[in-house]
Structure 1
Amino acid sequence: MIQIRQFGWADYDGVTEVWRSAGRDVLPRAELAAKLTRDPQLFLVAERDDIVAGVVLGTFDGRRGWILRLAVDPAHRRGGIASRLVAELETRFAALGCPRVNLLVMPDNVEALRFWQRLGYLPLPDVLCSKPIGTT
């Protein structure tokens, strides 16, 4: 049975394992702690048999929701965990009055693009610009 719930610090090691197994960078505790001061209810874990099997990190800036990190342990994929995590996150966005949700997908990640399109997310012709702050 899959349970979707809000992240708690006791989940951190399990979350980092999911990120590693999915080939994602691990967010350091300090960075995650800073994010959680804003909207902790938007960081969700999927638990199966007391093991963190999936995770999604969202944020709401007051205007738009953002899905920043969705990952499912490869051993638990193809069971609907990602879709359930996104559905719960969307419910929480709606409760905050969020009118639109955005996310970024690398253009060569065809499998991810198909997944998001099945959930109703459509690609836009926006251009992503980025600038590191405070680095030398």
Structure 2
Amino acid sequence: MSRIRQFRWDDYDLVTDVWRQAGAEVITRAELEAKLERDPELFLVADAEDAIAGVVMGTYDGRRGWIFRLAVHPAYRRQGLATRLVAELEDRLRALGCPRINLLVLPDNDAGLRFWQSLGYLPCPDVLCTKPLTTP
């Protein structure tokens, strides 16, 4: 059984492998450094012996929690790891006083939407807007 724990830098290569295997974009070290300065306790991995079986990243801005990058390596799927990762992240957000958690699911991700709904997350008709910023 995998153990859920906080991300460590020596996990980075294994975590990027999970993201790649799951078809997710890999977060660069520089982006991750900035995230870990804010709330490192909200970046969790499922540690399976000499591998990382799953990963989830959360953040809390003082008003809302967000879940990003939930991924489970294909070799470890259908074992409840995603549910355990989300439950641990929810517990940590709850302990910080977080009143609500948001996440994004791509419109064509039917399996993802079913998974999140099975955990009590409800679709909202909000429109996502985004703007990439360049650094000076």
Same fold (TM over 0.5): yes
Q: 1:7 deviation in Å?
A: 0.2
Say if 2:47 is the partner of 1:57: no
Counterpart position of 2:92:
92
- Aligned residues: percent identity? 70
Partner Cα separation in structure 1 for residue 87 and residue 122 of structure 2: 16
Q: What TM-score, normalized by structure 1, do the two folds share? A: 0.97
Structure 1 residues not aligned, in runs of 5+? none
Q: CA RMSD in A?
A: 0.9
Say if 2:32 is the partner of 1:32: yes
Superposed CA offset, 1:41-82 (max 9, x none)? 000000112310000000000000000110000111000000
Amino acid of the structure 1 residue aligned with 2:82: A
Q: What TM-score, normalized by structure 2, do the two folds share? A: 0.97
Aligned length: 135
Counterpart position of 1:42:
42
Counterpart position of 1:23:
23
Amino acid of the structure 1 residue aligned with 2:53: A
Say if 2:131 is the partner of 1:131: yes
Any runs of at least 4 consecutive aligned residues in structure 1 with deviations exceeding 3 A, and if so which?
none
